[in-house]
Structure 1
Amino acid sequence: MTSDDRSSYRRRKIGQALRRYREERNLTQDAAARLVERSPATLSAYENGHRAVRPRDLGQILDHYGITDARERARLLDLAAQGRKDGWWLDYQERTDPFIVDYASLEGDSSRIRAYEAQVIPGLLQTKAYTQAVFSAYAPVMEGPIQAGALEFRAARQRILANSGRPVTWVISESVLRTPIGGPRVMEEQFTKMLDVTRAAHLDLRVLPTAVGGHPGLDGAFSILDLGSEEPMKVVAVHSLVRSWFIDDSADVSYYEQVHDALAALALSKGDSRALLERIACEL
Structure 2
Amino acid sequence: MPAGGRPTVRSRRLGTALRQYRQAAKLDQPQAAEVIASSQARISRLESGHVTARVIEVRLLLDAYGVEDQEVRTKLEELAKHSKNRGWWLEHAAHLRPDYVDHIALEDDATYIREWQPAIVPGLLQTPAYAEAVVAGGPHPIDPERVAELVKVRVGRQAKIEEGGASYTAILWEAVVAHPLVPVEVHRGQLSAILEAGERKNVTVQVLPFTAGALGGSASAFSSFSFDEDPTVEAVTLDNLRGTSVLEGSEDLTAYANMFDLLRSSALAPDASAELIRGILRNLKEETS
Normalising by the smaller structure, the TM-score range is 0.7 to 0.9
What root-mean-square deviation, in Å, do the aligned CA atoms of Structure 1 and Structure 2 show? 3.0
TM (norm. structure 1) is 0.84
Q: What's 2:60 paired with?
A: 60
In the TM superposition, residue 213 of structure 1 has moved relative to its aligned partner by: 0.8
Indicate the SS of the match to 1:224: strand
Residue in 2 that maps onto 1:242: 242
Q: How do 1:216-235 residues align onto structure 2 when only pairs under 5 Å count? A: 218-230=218-230, 234-235=234-235
The alpha carbon displacement at 1:217 in A equals 6.0
Aligned match of 1:7: 7
1:46/1:52 contact within 8 Å kept: yes
Q: How far off its partner does 1:56 sit? A: 2.8
Amino acid paired to 2:111: S
Give yes or no for contact 2:209–2:268 (8 Å, CA) kept in 1: yes
Residue in 2 aligned with 1:142? 140
Would the alpha carbon gap of residues 26 and 258 (structure 1) be closer, same or farther in structure 2, given more than 3 Å must change? closer
Deviation at 1:251, TM superposition (A): 3.3
State the shift of 1:274 in Å: 1.0
**Letter of the 2:174 counterpart:** E
Q: Deviation of residue 76 (structure 1)? A: 3.3
Does residue 1:262 correspond to 2:262, yes or no?
A: yes
Residue 46 (structure 1) shift = 2.6
Cα drift, residue 18 of structure 1? 4.7
SS of match in other structure, 1:268: coil
Query: Which letter does structure 2 place at the counterpart of 1:259?
Result: M
Shift of 1:4: 7.3
Contact 1:129–1:182, Cα closer than 8 Å, also in 2 = no
| Structure 1 counterpart of 2:3, one-letter code | S
Bigger shift: 201-210 or 2-11? 2-11
Identity %: 28
Contact 1:130 1:181 in 2 (8 A): no
The answer as to whether partners of 1:235 and 1:247 remain within 8 angstroms in 2 is: yes
- The within-5 A match list for 1:142-161 is 142=140, 145=143, 148=146, 149-161=149-161
Letter in 2 for 1:261: D
Distance 1:48 1:226, change over 3 A: closer
- Aligned-pair CA distance for 1:147: 7.5
Residues 186 and 163 of structure 1: CA distance in aligned 2, closer, same or farther (over 3 Å): same
Q: Could you tell me whether the CA contact under 8 Å between 1:217 and 1:259 is conserved in 2?
A: no
Q: Which amino acid aligns with 1:135?
A: V
My pick for the range that moved more, 47-56 or 185-194, is 47-56
Distance 1:282 1:143, change over 3 A: closer
Task: Report the count of equivalent residues.
Answer: 279
Q: 1:107 and 2:103 equivalent?
A: no
Cα deviation for residue 168 of structure 1 reads 1.2
In the alignment, is the contact (CA less than 8 A) between 2:2 and 2:50 conserved in 1? no
* Partner Cα separation in structure 2 for residue 67 and residue 18 of structure 1: 12
**Is residue 82–residue 109 contact of structure 1 (8 Å, CA) maintained in 2?**
no
Instruction: Determine if contact 1:116/1:172 at 8 Å carries over to the other structure.
Output: yes
Q: CA deviation at 1:204?
A: 0.9
166-175 vs 142-151, greater mean Cα deviation: 142-151
User: Is the 1:198–1:204 Cα contact (8 Å) retained in structure 2?
Assistant: yes
- Partners of 1:26 and 1:279 in 2: CA distance: 61
In the alignment, the residues of structure 1 paired with residue 143 and residue 42 of structure 2 have an alpha-carbon distance, to the nearest angstrom, of 38
Structure 2 alignment gaps of length 5 or more? 285-289
**Which secondary structure state, in structure 2, belongs to the residue aligned with residue 116 of structure 1?**
strand
The secondary structure found in structure 2 opposite 1:283 is helix
Question: Residues 116 and 171 of structure 1 are in contact (CA less than 8 Å); yes or no, is this contact kept in structure 2?
Answer: yes
Given the superposition, is the C-alpha separation of residues 2 and 231 from structure 1 closer, same or farther in structure 2, using an over 3 Å criterion? closer
Check the 8 A contact 1:168/1:203 in 2, yes or no. Answer: yes
**Match of residue 287 from structure 2:** none
- In the superposition, the TM-score normalised over structure 2's length comes to 0.83
Q: Distance in 2 between matches of 1:233 and 1:115?
A: 12
